[in-house]
């Protein structure tokens, strides 16, 4: 069966520090991968998605970047965090076929102070 | 602009009651619609996916319907239990090539009282 791992679960970082969140998927090949953010009082917003190694699409302009160095690995990064980067970050995957469900990781609660 | 709206934002019911959660979307050219459950501080769990060609999907005590013409979806929960307490989110996909690109509603937080 397929599983998705996301870490760390919580993170407290000072403004201006770098960020690296990692997500890996097991039990499947060639998944579509996604990073979503859930900010306090706001809905889930798609940040990045990837349909293959090295292929990254950004949905909103922001202080973050994403990379996919391996087929089942997705990384969210920032060189200098802003207060507005605080939120609950969720990695997700779906099979690369139509009408497949989206499966989420357990999330990372990021607090930028 | 494609938007998804969920009303009410919060709902409290006694155990055993049947209930309906509502979801509306502005763009009827929806490819599919998914319902998720989120427990506090946790990730989302997929409940049901309804393709644009379908009218409803069922899983256990859950039944989700889709009416593209009216831009609405409902999630029906039968015989509610305290364990059903969570936030329920609906999300629409508008692309056949990448159905993980979802537009989410704000969610309905459900509390089922024993």
Q: Which of A42, A45, A55, A99 to mutate to test the interface with B (most CBs of B within 10 A)?
A: A99
CA atoms within 13 A on the CB side of A10: 4
The reply to whether B106 touches chain A by the CB within 8 Å rule is yes
Whether residues B46 and A92 touch (CB distance < 8 A) is answered with no
Q: Are B99 and A103 in contact (CB < 8 Å)?
A: no
Which pLDDT score is estimated for B29?
87
Given a cut of 80, whether residue A98 has pLDDT beyond it is no
Nearest one of A6, A90, A72 to B46, comparing CA atoms: A90
Greatest CA span in chain B, whole angstroms? 44
Contacts of A104 in chain B (CB under 8 A): 36, 43-46
Q: Which residue of A has its CA nearest to B97?
A: A98
Does B62 contact A at CB distance below 8 Å? no
Asked if the Cβ–Cβ distance from B34 to A101 is below 8 Å, we say yes
Confidence of residue B28 (pLDDT cuts 50, 70, 90): confident
Cα distance between residue B83 and residue B68, in whole Å = 31
The residue-averaged pLDDT of A52-77 equals 93
Across the interface, whether the CB atoms of B43 and A46 are under 8 A apart is answered no
> d(Cα B94, Cα A31) in Å, to the nearest integer?
19
Contact B100 A104 (CB under 8 A): no
Alpha-helical segments (H) within B1-114: none
Q: Is B55 left (phi over 0), alpha (psi -120 to 50) or beta?
A: alpha
**Position B33 confidence tier, pLDDT thresholds 50, 70, 90:** very high
| CA dist., res. B2 & res. B27, Å (int) | 6
- Under DSSP, is residue B96 helix (H, G, I), strand (E, B) or coil? coil
Neighbouring C-beta atoms of residue B26, cutoff 10 Å: 13
Compare A59 and B110 and report the one with higher pLDDT. Answer: B110
In contact, A77 and A69? CB cutoff 8 Å: no
Chain A positions touching B107 (Cβ under 8 A) are 43
A with B: how many residue pairs have Cβ under 8 Å apart? 66
Distance of CA B97 to the CA centre of its chain: 22
Is the pLDDT at A65 greater than 70, yes or no?
yes
Q: What is the pLDDT of residue A97?
A: 80
pLDDT exceeds cutoff 70 at B97: no
Residue A84: phi, psi to the nearest 5?
-70, -5
């Amino acid at each position: 069966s397929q599983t998705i791992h996301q870490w760390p679960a919580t993170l407290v970082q000072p403004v201006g520090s770098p960020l690296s969140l990692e997500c890996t998927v097991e039990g499947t090949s060639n998944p579509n991968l996604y990073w979503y953010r859930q900010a306090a009082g706001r809905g889930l917003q798609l940040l990045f998605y990837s349909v293959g190694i090295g292929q990254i699409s950004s949905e909103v302009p922001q202080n973050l970047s994403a990379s996919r160095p391996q087929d089942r690995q997705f990384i969210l990064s920032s060189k200098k965090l802003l207060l507005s980067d605080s939120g609950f970050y969720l990695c997700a995957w779906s099979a690369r076929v139509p009408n497949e469900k989206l499966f989420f990781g357990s999330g990372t609660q990021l607090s930028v102070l | 602009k494609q938007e998804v709206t969920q009303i009410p934002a919060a709902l409290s019911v006694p155990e055993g009651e049947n209930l309906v959660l509502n979801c509306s979307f502005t763009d009827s050219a929806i490819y599919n619609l998914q319902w998720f459950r989120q427990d506090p501080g946790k990730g989302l769990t997929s409940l049901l996916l309804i393709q644009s060609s379908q009218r409803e999907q069922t899983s256990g005590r859950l039944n989700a319907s889709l009416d593209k013409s009216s831009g609405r979806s409902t999630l029906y929960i039968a015989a509610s239990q305290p364990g059903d307490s969570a936030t329920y989110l609906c999300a629409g996909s508008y692309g056949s090539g990448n159905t993980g690109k979802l537009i989410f509603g704000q969610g309905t937080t459900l509390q089922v009282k024993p």
